[in-house]
Amino acid sequence: MSTREFTTHSSDETITLGRKLAEILKPPRLVLLRGDLGAGKTTLVKGIAEAFNAASEEDVTSPTFTLIHEYHGPEVNVYHIDLYRIDTQRELETLGLDDLMGDNSILLIEWGEKFGRFERERDVEIALERVGENERRVRVTSN
Ligand SMILES: Nc1ncnc2c1ncn2[C@@H]1O[C@H](COP(=O)(O)OP(=O)(O)OP(=O)(O)O)[C@@H](O)[C@H]1O
Ligand SMILES: [Mg+2]
């Protein structure tokens, strides 16, 4: 297990970090994005999805209500999932996340730590922490 730590000073820097982190995300990968509301999880996904030519940063928006956003690149499918509103095992099952896990898939899950299953199964954890108005600490842990 290894942990790397970064600090960003703007949302643009977090997007740039997302592009860089995409290099260590070879599919299939299950990635937990941890951090409070507004920590920058969705902002980071903008950079990751862009790096795989799956979406432009403007296209990536929060899946708060839709729960899953799919971005298909030439080689990689990025699934951005928000479990903030999912509370029960039953609700979780209706999302069918297992069906998304294919050879070319990267699942990026916000609030996945609500379910022990994802804490156990995740390949990578990215934890964002608000340090100041525009400053974020980003810790990346991979197995
Ligand atoms: N260094 C930074 N990195 C990321 N976002 C930043 C930074 N500085 C300021 N921000 C602002 O913080 C907010 C981060 O919002 P974002 O939607 O990415 O958070 P989130 O962690 O996905 O929250 P939620 O749990 O509500 O989905 C944005 O308004 C962004 O502009
Ligand atoms: Mg978000």
* Angstrom distances, CA of residue 2 to CA of 28, 117, 119, 136, 137: 19, 21, 16, 20, 16
With the most atoms of ligand 1 within 8 angstroms of its CB, the residue from 11, 36, 84, 109 to mutate is 11
Q: Which atom of ligand 1 is nearest to the CA of 35?
A: 21
Q: What sign does the CA torsion over 68, 102, 42, 48 have?
A: negative
**Gap from CA of 109 to ligand 1 centroid (Å):** 15
Question: Using omega within 30 degrees of 0 as the cis cutoff, is the peptide bond preceding 28 cis?
Answer: yes
Show the DSSP H helices in the chain as ranges: 11-21, 41-51, 89-95, 97-100, 116-121
From the CA of 69, the nearest ligand is 2
From the CA of 81, the nearest ligand is 2
Per-residue confidence of the chain (143 residues) as pLDDT tens digits? Answer: 899 999 999 999 999 999 999 999 999 999 999 999 999 999 999 999 999 999 999 999 999 999 999 999 999 999 999 999 999 999 999 999 999 999 999 999 999 999 999 999 999 999 999 999 999 999 999 98
Residue nearest atom 24 of ligand 1, based on CA coordinates: 37
pLDDT score at 73: 98
Tokens describing residue 77? 């499918």
With the most atoms of ligand 1 within 8 angstroms of its CB, the residue from 43, 85, 110 to mutate is 43
Show the DSSP H helices in 3-138 as ranges: 11-21, 41-51, 89-95, 97-100, 116-121
Tokens describing residue 66? 């839709």
- Domains of the chain plus CATH, in order, are 8-132 (3.40.50.300)
pLDDT score at 24: 93
